[in-house]
Structure 1
Amino acid sequence: MGRRSDHTRDELQALLLSEGHRLLAEGGLARFSGREVAKRAGYSVGTIYNVFGSLDHLLVALNSHTFTLWANALERELSRGPADRIAALVEAYFAFARDHTHLWSAIYEHRVAPDLLGPADHAARAALTTIVDAEVRAALPADTGTDIGRLTRSLIAVVHGHCSFALGGTFALLEEHDPAGSALARVRESLAMQGYDATLPVG
Structure 2
Amino acid sequence: MILSGGQALLAEVGYARFSAREVAKRIGYSIGTIFNVFGSHDALLTALNSGTFVLWAEALRTKLAEAGHDRIAALVEGYFDFAEGNPNLWMAIYDHRLPPDVELPEDYRRLRAGLTGIIEAEIARTLPHTPADRIPALTRSLVATVHGHCAFALTGTFRLLGERDPRAAALARVRETLAANAQPAMPTSA
State the match for 1:182 in structure 2: 169
Aligned ranges for residues 161-180 of structure 1 at < 5 Å? 161-180=148-167
Q: 1:32 aligns with which of 10, 15, 18?
A: 18
Name the SS for the 1:176 alignment partner: coil
Cα separation, 1, equivalents of 2:4 and 2:130: 44
SS in 1 for 2:163: coil
Between the two proteins, what is the percent identity of the paired residues?
A: 59
Unpaired stretches in structure 2, ≥5 consecutive residues: 184-190
Deviation (angstroms), 1:144 = 2.6
Q: Equivalent residue of 2:98, what SS?
A: coil
Q: Which residue of 1 aligns with 2:83?
A: 97
| Counterpart AA for 2:129 | D
Matched residue, 1:83? 69
Deviation track 1:20-40 (CA, whole Å, cap 9, x = no partner) reads 000000010111111110011
Cα drift, residue 125 of structure 1: 1.0
5+ residue gaps, structure 1, are 1-14, 197-203
Return the alpha-carbon distance in structure 2 between the equivalents of residues 173 and 72 of structure 1.
33
Distance 1:157 1:20 in 2: 27
Structure 1: which amino acid aligns with 2:135?
I
The whole-number CA distance in structure 2 between the counterparts of 1:66 and 1:109 is 13
Runs of 4+ with deviation above 4 angstroms: none
TM-score normalised to structure 1 length: 0.86
Query: Whole-Å Cα distance in 1 between the matches of residues 76 and 157 of structure 2?
Result: 19
| Aligned mates of 1:143, 1:79 — CA distance in 2 | 24
TM-score (norm 2): 0.91
Alpha-carbon distance in 2 for matches of 1:101, 1:116: 26
**SS at the partner of 1:117?**
coil
> What letter is aligned with 2:143?
I
- Confirm or deny: 8 A CA contact 1:60 1:116 kept in the other structure: no
1:155 aligns with 2:133: no
Task: Quote the RMSD (CA, aligned, Å).
Answer: 1.4
State yes or no: 1:135 paired with 2:132: no
Structure 1 match to 2:188:
none
